[in-house]
Chain A
Amino acid sequence: MSVSNSEVAVQPLKNHFLQGLKTGISIAIGYIPIAIAFGLLARSADIPNYVTLMMSFVIFAGASQFIGVNMIVMGISYWEIIITTFILNFRHFLMTASLSQRISNAPSKKLLALLSFGVTDETFSVASTQNERELHPYFVIGLNLIAFLSWNVGTWIGVFLAAGLPQSIQNSTGIALYAMFIGLLVPTLKKSRPALVISLIAVLIHSGLHWITPLFMELSSGWSIIITTVISAAIGVVLFPAKEGEQDEQ
């Protein structure tokens, strides 16, 4: 026996972690240009650099950081900004609830608390569309870490180096994260009928909320996503009830 027990135990953890980092590269490609844009915007709004960098480090949620900067510039009270941030990001509650059922190996509460900090629309989407039924906690940590690092590196670039990419390419990168969502969703639609039906229902409901509700009330994008998700997933449960002893829907 040339390999010690401790090495045997450590090796798989490292592999899961590295696999997570690798899987997260497409998130990093999408995050860096947006984070650069965030850094640039905050700088042009005269937000002190340390505050901008702190936002990406402490909040780590794209849309609410952009909106936060906007609201600071408009002189809106801190409480209103905090409540808006809460409403906008409450959708992550649904995502981590869903993800919690797929984490394997019964990790400690501390590890789960650490892992949940990195749950964003993008890391959740990538993690939850993995083929494996069980997700290793270190895989999710690796995935979340590369997303977090790229978001912060991008913010630093935006704040200190200003516009590096030519404007024409910058304009095109707006589609990056949407392209990634498509790349994650479309293959599952081919494999699973519930996925296809639920996605179509969600597109219909979300389009309705997007184009019709503004006529008579204001609905934040955070609430739109929460409402759409709850209704579509609930309809899915009614249309495709769980069968006895079934592991997953495929």
Chain B
Amino acid sequence: MSNDYLWLLVIGMGVVTYVPRMLPMVFLKNLNLPPSMKRFLQFIPYAVLASLIFPGILTSVDTVESAIIGGLVSVILSLLRVNLILVVLGGIMGVFISEQMFFG
């Protein structure tokens, strides 16, 4: 297949990404859902966040060890309720320092 039609592929990928994002937002918004369904939707963020974090974090950087150290730094900082940006920078620093010192 020639590269001339890559733009068409990109548009196709864009459409199949956008439609599932858009449909519930536009059509569920004003529906009166049963309480258990509302509850289900309310619980989705926790389940999504937890599955995004683990086990993906383990392979996010060069070594599993430095990923764990970076992750722990972020957990400690978020338990201390510091600003989210510091949690992110702290995680990066944790990985950076541990790679330089131990696992690099």
Contacts and interface: CB of A to CB of B under 8 A. Distances in A.
Interface of A: 25-26, 29-30, 47-48, 50-51, 54-55, 58-61, 64, 68, 72, 75, 77-78, 81-83, 85-86, 89-101, 103, 106, 109, 112-113, 115-117, 119, 121, 124-125, 128-129, 168-169, 171-188, 190, 194-195, 198-203, 205-207, 210-211, 224-225, 228-229, 232-234, 236-237, 240-242, 248-249
Contacts of B94: 175
Contact of B71 (A75, A178, A195, A236): A178
A125 B61 contact: no
Given A178-B70, A203-B51, A237-B43, 10 more contacts: A81-B12, A99-B25, A113-B26, A121-B52, A178-B71, A179-B73, A195-B46, A202-B48, A229-B47, A248-B42
Nearest to A97: B24
Interface residues of B, number: 77
A236 B41 CA distance: 11
12 contacts: A48-B3, A98-B42, A100-B24, A171-B99, A178-B53, A183-B74, A186-B79, A187-B79, A229-B51, A232-B51, A233-B41, A236-B40
Given A82-B12, A237-B43, A185 B53 contact: yes
Interface string B42-68: 111111111111111100111000110
A185 B42 CA distance: 14
B6 A198 contact: no
A172 B99 contact: yes
Interface string B73-95: 11101110100110111111111
A225 B91 contact: no
Nearest to B33: A101
A117 B22 contact: yes
Contacts of A181: 49, 52-53
B16 A86 contact: yes
Nearest to A210: B55
Nearest to B17: A89
A24 to B, nearest CB: 10
A77 B45 CA distance: 34
B17 A51 contact: no
